[in-house]
Amino acid sequence: MKSTIIGNAHDLNAAQEIWFIQNILFSGSEINIGYSPNILRDQTVIYLELNEISGELIKQLRLEKNKIVLYHMGDEFGRMSREQYRNCDLVIRNYYFDEIFSSKEDVEVIWAPCGFKTGIGPRESVYIKPASKRQWRSSFFGWLENSASYNGEREGFARIAPECGEDLFLQATSGFAMGWNIGLYSIAMESSVFAPCPAGNAPETIRLYDALELGCIPISLSHDFIISPNALGLIGPAPFPILNSWNELPTFLKSIKEKVSSSPRELDDMQARCIAWWTDYKIAIQRKIAQRIQTL
């Protein structure tokens, strides 16, 4: 059965990861801006929503005998109403909350990664700059003064960052998405071996996927979405470094420097494992979603 993604212009414009959504998660499904009655009929409609889920739209889609897959984005705190989930055939959403994905909802809920920003990728792995030829040991470009960050991670990261010295290139911004343009941001990240990914409003950040797509090795704290087999653990453990606390970052970066001095290929090998894992993961999540949609 044919699948079509629909969303209002505001949400499609605000979704920074729209290429990833269309081409990785939903296998190249076409996208329609808004909903036109009588055009979408007797097919699978993927309803993309960033804000309040429209029960009226779901009702209209159902009247046209469509199967409805809700792609629910933007619920970083897990507080948005899920009342309309039960009126859909399948729900796919970002941001992993165990109580949502392990609960017995009236409809199956599948987790999907936020993905990388459009313009960051897609990147062919053969053209990614080797880690051993990158300019900076690690870098962070983004908003540090986010008082709402999960478990205060941004504050903790900001406090320890100066102790990393020359091992961390830091470019703080004054707010969300207020940094360098996508081109310069991509170049800078591809000039870095590691990318610390402190949590934003939620543990899951787009930065982690930007890093993976650019062959930059993420560094994270341990979170459910990284570990769970229903999320990034789908194909096995993530191969990038997981710290217990951001206080460990200076020591970790120093140890990497010492390790590389005795084993020059260490960085390239670590990078290669991350690239291979991310390539396999994108294939696996695309297949998982496609197979589930085909059973509707």
Assess if CATH 3.40.50 describes domain 3-112. yes
**Helix/strand number for the chain, H first, E second:** 10, 11
Q: How far is CA 240 from CA 30, 37, 183, 217, 291, in A?
A: 33, 46, 24, 6, 28
Order of strands across the sheet with 109-111? Answer: 30-33, 3-7, 44-49, 67-72, 90-93, 109-111
pLDDT band (50, 70, 90) for residue 147: confident
Among 249, 243, 227, residue whose Cα is nearest residue 168: 249
The backbone torsions φ and ψ at residue 253, rounded to the nearest 5 degrees and listed phi first, read: -65, -35
pTM of the model: 0.95
pLDDT in tens, 58-72: 999 999 999 999 999
What 3-state DSSP class applies to 17? coil
pLDDT in tens, 72-88: 999 999 999 999 999 99
Give residue limits of the domains in the chain: 3-112, 125-281
Domains 3-112 and 125-281 fall in the same CATH topology: yes
pLDDT in tens, 3-50: 999 999 999 999 999 999 999 999 999 999 999 877 899 999 999 999
CATH class of 125-281: alpha beta
